[in-house]
Chain A
């Protein structure tokens, strides 16, 4: 079990009214923004279960949008976000699905990347899926994510590049669609890495997408 901080219980300092439904929503949005890491014109949110039924009352819709636009959780302008948003098209869907966590969302950027996450209480979040692949990102670590063709030696290629930088790997998680098919790798890091490392990883043969996901503040 991962060790937790007393500041996961006391905090965040945040704009109300709900840590799971407002602050958690902002953080899910911020995390999705970090993962997509691109300008976007269009964003769609699919809210599940309690997020869907009580989201309006908790400002979940406002929080998610504020998050993808980069607002911090204690920004008191979140309540006016619909007036402040400029040039981004946004929409919401509301779905009941008991196979999903009670406070769950899909965030879809420009119809090309779907990021699914849960608000697991007290403002804490986790990102479970990116474009259908399992992930386990809680926003506490800088994380290197790559998509590649499944084949032997990929982990060792990547970890060697990171090792040369002297950065310790906190956790490593892989998933694949099929043997030899598309695969994903998530590497949580104890220290930040510089952009040069990301570029080196990009040059590995059969790696077709790399993104460096910064942790949440």
Chain B
């Protein structure tokens, strides 16, 4: 069955008295003509690749080809060894793990696109940090990743998840919504609360453009992974507290799509507007092309 909206998903959960991940894994198994345990194993393999990318990223401070980025994860790790962050361990780890993954990506290292490579640090950093803090089992982490998967899938049925089509809304923005839902799942929230978290996260990233300097997945993409990881937890905390969005999930997804259509092509991964056309960005670009 093709689940096309969050409303459909919620109705299914209520009708069958199941969690979102249960509906998602059964649906996936039906579609792929395989067992639920195979779906879960495949999810586990992705989770493992995410953890490997974090591990590799934590050890490396190799710069990218541009020489602009690649050592911030190392910098932040060292800083947190000497001081406590204001927000505590989960937030520290989200920042560090998201940087580790995003920097591994810019080195052309092995990562898991989730939903895209430019946004690859958000879902892993959130799932890993929260599960470490709360001693959450690997099985529940798999539940959380499957939950994230169906959230992204429902959105992608309406909007292509590419910066070139709908701006960064559709990449880091959607990743943040997926991560928000996964946190609520890990902390035992209801399907309704999961979808609220998705809605709250999505509403707050509408209009986010894709204007990377020189077209590289570096500035502002890498640090944005950290910001939107933290953003996901904010949405989850609100939803778990019972806060509700006035605008329902599916209407927010429609808005995301329309906002993407209204967005100038100059701000959709073409490196022809926004930050990529600032004085400094142009200087960086000229230097880079001179050296390559």
Residues on A facing B (Cβ under 8 Å): 1, 3-20, 22-23, 49-50, 53-59, 74, 76, 78-79, 102-103, 119-123
Contacts and interface: CB of A to CB of B under 8 A. Distances in A.
Given A3-B31, A20-B163, A58-B215, A14 B111 contact: yes
A119 B145 CA distance: 25
B28 A6 contact: yes
B217 A18 contact: yes
Given A17-B118, A58-B215, A121-B160, A10 B108 contact: no
Contacts of A122: 113, 115-116, 156, 161-162
A49 to B, nearest CB: 7
A3 to B, nearest CB: 5
A102 B267 CA distance: 12
Contact of A3 (B2, B150, B218): B2
A188 B153 CA distance: 23
Nearest to B106: A17
Contacts of A10: 43, 46, 112-115, 123, 145, 148-149, 152
B226 to A, nearest CB: 17
Given A16-B217, A18-B117, A57-B215, 6 more contacts: A3-B2, A7-B42, A16-B117, A17-B217, A57-B271, A58-B217
Given A5-B28, A10-B46, A122-B162, A17 B116 contact: no
A55 B217 CA distance: 11
26 contacts: A4-B157, A5-B28, A6-B28, A6-B152, A8-B153, A9-B148, A9-B156, A9-B161, A10-B113, A10-B114, A10-B149, A11-B113, A13-B110, A14-B110, A16-B120, A17-B218, A19-B115, A20-B162, A23-B113, A50-B164, A50-B268, A55-B215, A57-B216, A76-B108, A121-B164, A122-B116
Contacts of B180: none
Nearest to B276: A54
B162 A78 contact: no
Contacts of A20: 116, 162-164, 269
A50 B157 CA distance: 22
B110 to A, nearest CB: 5
B60 interface: no
A102 B109 contact: no
Among B31, B123, B156, max chain A CB count under 10 A is at B156
Given A9-B161, A121-B161, A19 B108 contact: no
A49 B118 CA distance: 19
Given A4-B156, A7-B42, A17-B108, A50 B269 contact: yes
B110 A74 contact: yes
Contacts of B255: none
B107 interface: yes
A69 B182 CA distance: 38
Contacts of A53: 215, 270-272
Given A1-B157, A58-B217, A16 B107 contact: yes
Place the interface of chain B in its size category. 35 or more
Q: What is the predominant secondary structure among interface residues of chain A facing chain B?
A: mixed
Nearest to A75: B110
B162 A16 contact: no
A24 to B, nearest CB: 9
Interface in B146-178: 146, 148-150, 152-153, 156-157, 160-165, 170, 178
A121 B165 contact: yes
Interface centre among B24, B43, B148, B215 (most CB of A within 10 A): B215
Which of B31, B115, B271 is packed against the most chain A CB atoms within 10 Å? B115
A16 B106 contact: yes
B2 A54 contact: no
- Which residue of B107, B117, B118, B270 has the most chain A CB atoms within 10 A of its CB atom? B117
Contacts of B104: 16
Given A9-B153, A53-B215, A122-B115, A102 B268 contact: yes
Contacts of B117: 14, 16-19, 22-23
